[in-house]
Structure 1
Amino acid sequence: MDGKDVGSAVSDYWTFSSDNLVSGILPLITAVLAALLLVSLIRYRRLGGRGQGLSVEMGSASRSLRNADRDLRTLFDQSAIAVMLLDPTTKSVLYANETAMMAFGVRTEEQLTAEVMQKPDAWSPSPFSLLDFEETVFKTSRSGLQKFEWYFEPTGRHPVWLDSSLSIISYKSGQALMFTGVNITERKHAEKADHFRHKAMTSMANDNGLHVTLDHLAAMAESRMPGAYCGVMVHDGERARLRWVGGRSLPEPFREAMDDLPVAFGAASSGTAVFIRGRVVSRDVRTDDRWERHRDDAEWAGLRACWSEPVIGSSGELLGTFDVYHKEPWTPGDDDIDALTDPIAITSLAIERHLSKSQLEHMVLSEQMVRRISTDLLTLGPEETDQGITSTCRALGDFYRADRVFLCQFEDASQQVWVSHEWAGEGFGSLCPDIARKYPVIPSSLNKVFEGKPSVIFSAEQEIPPQLEFLKELLTLKGQQSVLLVRVHRGDRMSGILGIQMTSAVNPWTPQRAQTAELMANLFGSALNRNQLLHSLTYQAVHDQLTGLYNRHKIESFMDQEVARCTRYGSTFSVIIFDLDNFKSINDRYGHNEGDAVLSGVSVLVGQGIRESEIAGRWGGEEFLIILPETSLDSAVPVADRLRGSIESHRFSIPEPVTISVGVAAFRPGDTPHEIIQRADAALYSAKESGRNCVKQSF
């Protein structure tokens, strides 16, 4: 078999074998393919089921997400917490619940975006400005949750404090900024009120001025009542006026206009509240007649309403008013009344404490004044007493803020009274221009007026009793004037009256004030009694007891003064010496009593015969000496002769004439008092040797 046959045989073999193999394997392949197809079909069905399940799950998840958004918004809408969702990029509001819109003073989310979130003027000053808020947003985007407090002032509404947070959340398949805020305004107001209460109590403890304490209390009330402007007025009982002391939130011109408000019905709300001792509410001052006089002042300050609550002390005395003003017509509610209860209570405590301190200071000042005046009055010399009493009257006038202070003295011998000392305040005329004028009075009858008490009070409505008729003529009490009259004693007898006149709508004479005046009256009595005693002792020391003329010791003192004056200024003076002729025989014949009567009669004639500037004295026994300043010898001789003639012509109690012998001498440069008197005495003896009853001069 050749090669072609072999090849053909092999080819035929493989062809036969292939055909047999294909026919053998083909069923197997078909079975495998069918199995694979079945498996694929099964897997396809399974994948189809799973895909359908996933589709259902995705739909369910989407529905759940939508439901969650809806449930979240429903939850936010019902929350008392302010919630806003903001676009992180534009800061526009995606959502805001009702609480948030109320807090920011808007009605819609669009308004919140346009009128607040994108409007810088709508925000409060730093650190609560829009720029500050955007800085917080930036921090949130970078670091996550931020917590902070926020303050906002909605237009036309009270300010709001929020305890806030800012965070990032998923919202509508994206991200949003979530702002939450819890309203802590009430807590902030309470904290602020506590702050001012603490400052007020600290101010009282530190004895700061009353105005400082009342300023804090007014601010305390304002923090509890947003939109209110408060003031505190203090009652001046002596003048029946109200003084603005506390509260500085209202304009100063308005406070000045209301200051010194009278206590009277119709004197705005404050004056009326004190007058009726009750609450006064002026809902609209433009239509309230009580504001007629101050309506323009309130209009200028932009005020429309005023509520005045009287401040009453623990003993029921009126201390002032607590006033609450508003810029719109307004009436207080129960919450407002409750809010003012605590400030009013502390205000009452502060004013009472201030008044107690003032009374204590008044007592100290009164004691100091009495001590000082008593020292002054009881150490004055006789010639200084009148001026000292007048100065004391002025000091009393300043101390009491009185209209006038006067002192009346009684003269027992003549049963008369006169105004001896007086001080009058500005605008008040003299009580008695003619201080020498005297009025009849019976001191003993005044006991019925005083009824055994040291002092009495009369007002313009009271009739001054007949026993004080002279005061009825001098004092004309009008309106709100009153006078306190205090008895002045010298020893155990009434010797005068101290009067203090004041103007006040209420009785200013508290027991303490009356007691101080009574003590001063006692000091006046002691000073006058001392002055009288000093005058008596001084008089006795320098006057002759029988004749009342200066004694020899005092005349010698005058002589020394005249010689010194004439030596210094080159002037002159003259001396007259005389004695009674035959005086010993008068004593021997008519007795010493008649002799003393003659000496007293001669001294009266001497006093009547000389000028005020001339000095007369008893030189010794029946001898008298007269000093004539600025008088030459030629001028002195006629004076001596006139005196001699008047004595000679006078009819004494004895049945015979009395005559005198007179000697006259004048000062010469270089003279001593002794030398002048020696020359005058020599002239006197010359007159006696010349037959008595004549005048001789020394050359």
Structure 2
Amino acid sequence: MSEALTESLMSAWPAVALCLVLTLALARQRVNLAKSERATAKVSNKFSQAAENLQRLQRDIEHMVRELPFCALLVERDTGLVTCVSRYAEEHRLGMPDDVKDLRLESIFQGRHPDLLPGIRARLATGIRGRVELHDRVPMRPGTTDGQAIEVAASLAPVGSRVLVTLRWKDEPGARPMTRAKRDNSVIRSILNESNVVRGLEKAVELLHAREHAGHGVGFCVSLLDSRSRTLRAIWSRGLEGRMQQSLNTIPVIFGYAPNSTAALLSKAVQVDKTAFRDSFSFDELEMERLGEWTSFPITSSAGEVLGTFDLFVFDGVRFDVSPDAISNFLFVASVLLERHQALSTIVNQARADRLIKRIGEKLLSADAGRELEVLYHCIDDLQAHAELASGRVGLIFCDEAGGLAQTGTLFEAGARMGEGRQWLTEQFHRLATSSGPVTRDGGEGAELPELVSLTAGEDSAIQAFAESLPIRPETRQAVWSVFPMASGGHLEGLLLFADTPAVTSEQNALLSTVAPIFASHLVRTRLLRELERRAHHDPLTGLYNRGHIEEKLKAEVERSLRYRNTLSVILFDIDHFKQINDTYGHDVGDEVLQAVARRVERSLRSVDRVGRWGGEEFLVILAETGKDSALLVAENLRRTVAEGEYGLPSPVTVSVGVAQFRSSDGTGSLVKRADQALYRAKQNGRNQVAEG
């Protein structure tokens, strides 16, 4: 009865395996669908970000136009609606109406400019590709006909979907300073669409009206704040050379180190002379014997974030005066250029990160069976090579097949192994989460895991203790760490680690927090596939190969022996009086005996030998490249190993063994049949012995 039940259960395994495969395929389809939905959401977010960037750029342009020191207007190409007017035009109202809301060109000119308005209309209708100049003469005092008139000139320049219109009244009392304003207007207009920061700053220096001074006792420098390394990097300079220029290339943002680093931290201008510099600052690279004064201005974004600094150097014996308006104009233009540069860099970096994430996801999804971990190692290498993470070290800890821990990545020393398991890893992560402050818990099944994206604490004792328990490179022990849990269903699959100096940036954390769930899904999928394969190929009671898989192995060995003329032998053995053990002590004891015999036999064989449960209490051993004489020795050793075992029974447990060597005329069936006949003879001759077939 028990043998029939066992055979019935074993025959049902292919159907169970098929069900598991179909379930896995359905789960994978759902995963792919979820990935498609996330990709669609990501594209939607990018469009939203692009729209926000466009709106912010339009606001910056309008802000710039508002601050222009002359009469300027932004006009819609299609409707002629005036969307922005400079503050100068509103305050002086040179031909402007009292109500500047819902303003149109007709309201501004009010019929007093007979040639100007039709010309502007015609240009707007035909399209403007470059700068256009129009001229007219209007009464000096609107509404009079005393014959006194002045010339007015309109300059039109395209700015996106709008047109910048500037008006200049020549020979008007109080309008003579417009000559300098005209130059500033031209400079600012030329910078509006400039994407190269250095070229833009070369043009913007004209706003300081210091061309004749640059290089002759006066120097300028613009530095960009690198939030990752907390340094100021010089990206443009004028009038500086040699040692002074080199010393400004990289300056750490430390209070009191230099005027520009202090200005960046305080977000306000810092001005020092030679004496104050020596008394207040530790930066001693500059030739301060020649430098008379150093003024540093922070360059801030529209949101108030410090983007960098503008430094003005005046040397001994030189008198240089620059107006606050000129400084303000330069700082505003520099802010627009740096903010645009930062936005473009963010877009480019995000595009690179998106390509990396897509490439990693495709690699992991298309990994061949048996190569899942190898592909995972390659993906970690790709992650480390990404520009955003190249300054630090990446590491991955995960649970392997045997239940222990494995690791990969440049964070770890080559060849090191970890002997702990999943429980230790979960406890360590909980300890880290607790030390980092309050955490929330998920509601999933299994052990509760903190819903944390990252943990960063360079000097935290818990992280230091965790680092010391890992085989990491010594130089990373004092770095700042980010730890990302890779969890599924409340169970920790592993940890994604990143260490960098002096800090881990938000961009690095954002990239790694996106990749961590992808790695977690891959580890879960790999574990489920291997579990499915194990159940399909192994006997659930003994853990040995089941009948179907050991037959496949035997068929492959027979084909190899025929092709290469290698020797091959098989051993077929079963437990003596096993039915009596079941009847006397129960099936639970019988199962324990089967498990114990399987373990002892498996340990006694070579790593290249294969053993499987043939049926009931029968087992088959495949001895590749083994002749009959050697096979008999192995069989005798197997018989003795089983007989010497302790099974908790009053009587010994023994096996009868049949051995058969492969012949060229054999198939798998005939080979096993001869071993079975030898086994039968061993039983007939008294059991607990080896017979040759």
Residue aligning to 2:485: 487
Map 1:244-263 to 2 at 5 A. Answer: 244-247=234-237, 250-251=240-241, 255-263=245-253
Question: Hey, what's the Cα distance between the residues in 2 that align with 1:371 and 1:186?
Answer: 58
**CA pair 615-521 structure 1, distance change in 2 beyond 3 A:** same
Give yes or no for the alignment of 1:324 onto 2:315: no
Deviation at 1:617, TM superposition (A): 0.8
Q: Which amino acid aligns with 1:470?
A: F
Deviation at 1:635, TM superposition (A): 1.5
**Further displaced range: 539-548 or 657-666:** 657-666
Map 1:61-460 to 2 at 5 A. Answer: 193-203=184-194, 208-218=195-205, 220-221=207-208, 223=210, 226-227=213-214, 228-247=218-237, 250-251=240-241, 255-265=245-255, 267-281=257-271, 283=273, 288=278, 290=281, 293-295=284-286, 306-326=294-314, 328-330=316-318, 333=321, 335-381=322-368, 383-397=370-384, 398=386, 399-401=388-390, 403-409=392-398, 420-424=406-410, 430=413, 433-437=416-420, 440=424, 443=427, 445-446=430-431, 448-449=434-435, 451-452=439-440, 453-460=451-458
CA deviations 1:317-371 (Å, max 9, x no partner) are 22111123455555754x3443221111111122122222333344444444334
CA deviations 1:627-659 (Å, max 9, x no partner) are 122322221211111110111222324432222
**CA pair 532-270 structure 1, distance change in 2 beyond 3 A:** same
Deviation at 1:669, TM superposition (A): 4.6
Question: Hey, what's the Cα distance between the residues in 2 that align with 1:494 and 1:458?
Answer: 19
> Per the alignment, in what secondary structure is the counterpart of residue 456 of structure 2?
strand
Contact 1:378/1:530 (CA < 8 Å) preserved in 2?
no
**CA pair 560-211 structure 1, distance change in 2 beyond 3 A:** farther
Q: Which runs of 5+ in 1 are unaligned?
A: 1-184
Select the structure with the greater relative contact order (CA < 8 A; seq sep ≥ 6). 2
Question: Hey, what's the Cα distance between the residues in 1 that align with 2:600 and 2:390?
Answer: 51
**Further displaced range: 651-660 or 538-547:** 651-660
Contact 2:399/2:405 (CA < 8 Å) preserved in 1?
no
Deviation at 1:256, TM superposition (A): 4.7
Question: Hey, what's the Cα distance between the residues in 2 that align with 1:412 and 1:549?
Answer: 16
The alignment yields a C-alpha RMSD, in angstroms, of 3.9
Number of equivalenced pairs: 496
Larger radius of gyration: 1
> Per the alignment, in what secondary structure is the counterpart of residue 662 of structure 1?
strand
**CA pair 445-342 structure 1, distance change in 2 beyond 3 A:** closer
**CA pair 286-491 structure 1, distance change in 2 beyond 3 A:** closer
Contact 2:493/2:524 (CA < 8 Å) preserved in 1?
no
Deviation at 1:455, TM superposition (A): 3.4
**CA pair 664-215 structure 1, distance change in 2 beyond 3 A:** farther
Contact 1:233/1:243 (CA < 8 Å) preserved in 2?
yes
Contact 1:464/1:472 (CA < 8 Å) preserved in 2?
no
Q: Which amino acid aligns with 2:661?
A: A
Q: Which amino acid aligns with 2:530?
A: H
Question: Hey, what's the Cα distance between the residues in 2 that align with 1:527 and 1:234?
Answer: 40
Normalised to the residue count of structure 2, the TM-score between the two structures is 0.63
Give yes or no for the alignment of 1:661 onto 2:656: yes
Contact 1:200/1:213 (CA < 8 Å) preserved in 2?
yes
Q: Which amino acid aligns with 2:360?
A: I
Question: Hey, what's the Cα distance between the residues in 2 that align with 1:561 and 1:222?
Answer: 87
Q: Which has the higher helix share?
A: 1
Contact 1:308/1:322 (CA < 8 Å) preserved in 2?
yes
Question: Hey, what's the Cα distance between the residues in 1 that align with 2:672 and 2:621?
Answer: 11
Residue aligning to 2:598: 603
Question: Hey, what's the Cα distance between the residues in 2 that align with 1:373 and 1:490?
Answer: 19
Percent identity, aligned pairs only? 29
Map 1:510-659 to 2 at 5 A. Answer: 510=506, 514-659=509-654
Contact 1:232/1:320 (CA < 8 Å) preserved in 2?
yes
Question: Hey, what's the Cα distance between the residues in 1 that align with 2:665 and 2:590?
Answer: 39
Contact 2:467/2:477 (CA < 8 Å) preserved in 1?
no
Residue aligning to 2:466: 470
Map 1:501-516 to 2 at 5 A. Answer: 501-504=499-502, 508-510=504-506, 514-516=509-511
**CA pair 402-627 structure 1, distance change in 2 beyond 3 A:** farther
Q: Which runs of 5+ in 2 are unaligned?
A: 1-175, 441-450
Question: Hey, what's the Cα distance between the residues in 2 that align with 1:421 and 1:478?
Answer: 16
CA deviations 1:389-434 (Å, max 9, x no partner) are 33333344334345222334579999xxx75323226xxx639933
> Per the alignment, in what secondary structure is the counterpart of residue 225 of structure 2?
strand
> Per the alignment, in what secondary structure is the counterpart of residue 560 of structure 2?
helix
Contact 2:571/2:622 (CA < 8 Å) preserved in 1?
yes
**Further displaced range: 233-242 or 188-197:** 188-197
Normalised to the residue count of structure 1, the TM-score between the two structures is 0.62
**CA pair 574-215 structure 1, distance change in 2 beyond 3 A:** farther
Residue aligning to 2:27: none
Q: Which amino acid aligns with 1:345?
A: F
> Per the alignment, in what secondary structure is the counterpart of residue 546 of structure 1?
coil
Contact 1:270/1:323 (CA < 8 Å) preserved in 2?
yes
